[in-house]
Amino acid sequence: TVTASLRNSDDISPDKEEVSSNEGESVTLSCNYRASSDNIFLYWYRQHSNRAPQYLLFKGAGGYSGFEDISNDRFQSATSSTFTQLTITSLTIADTAIYYCALRVAQ
C-alpha cells in the first residue's frame, strides 16, 4: 500500500520576481516559506536558458539546522523559520539565470 498526502500548509515562494546586480558584486535572493514541520530542507537551483536545472545547495532549518551541502564557495545560504536566502558573491555574467528555491519537509 502506498499512501501519499499533500499538505496545503507547505509552500515556498520568492520574495521578489527579479533581482539584478553588477559583475563583481554580490546579490542576495530570498524566498519565504510555511511548513507543517520543523524538520525542513531548503534547496536552491538555477536554470540557464535552454538548459536543465542545476543544483546549487541545500541547507537545513529547524530540527535540521546543522545540515548543509553547498556546491560552490561563492554561494552562501541563511535560513530561519520563515525564509531562506541565497547569496552569490563575485557575480559574473554566467550567473544570469532563473533561480528556484524549493522546500522539503522531512517526516
Phi and psi at residue 72, to the nearest 5°: -155, 135
Q: What is residue 89's predicted lDDT score, i.e. its pLDDT? A: 96
Domain ranges within the chain, ordered by starting residue? 24-105
**Pairwise CA distance, residues 3 & 49, whole Å:** 36
pTM as predicted: 0.85
Q: What is residue 3's predicted lDDT score, i.e. its pLDDT? A: 46
Q: What is residue 100's predicted lDDT score, i.e. its pLDDT? A: 96
Strand-pair partners of 14: 31
* Percent of the chain's residues with pLDDT above 90: 66
Instruction: Identify the band that residue 39 occupies on the pLDDT scale cut at 50, 70 and 90.
Output: confident
Whether the Cβ atoms of residue 100 and residue 31 lie closer than 8 Å to each other: no
- For 1, the grid coordinates are 500500500
pLDDT tens-digit series, residues 54-65: 999 999 888 788
CATH topology of domain 24-105: Immunoglobulin-like (2.60.40)
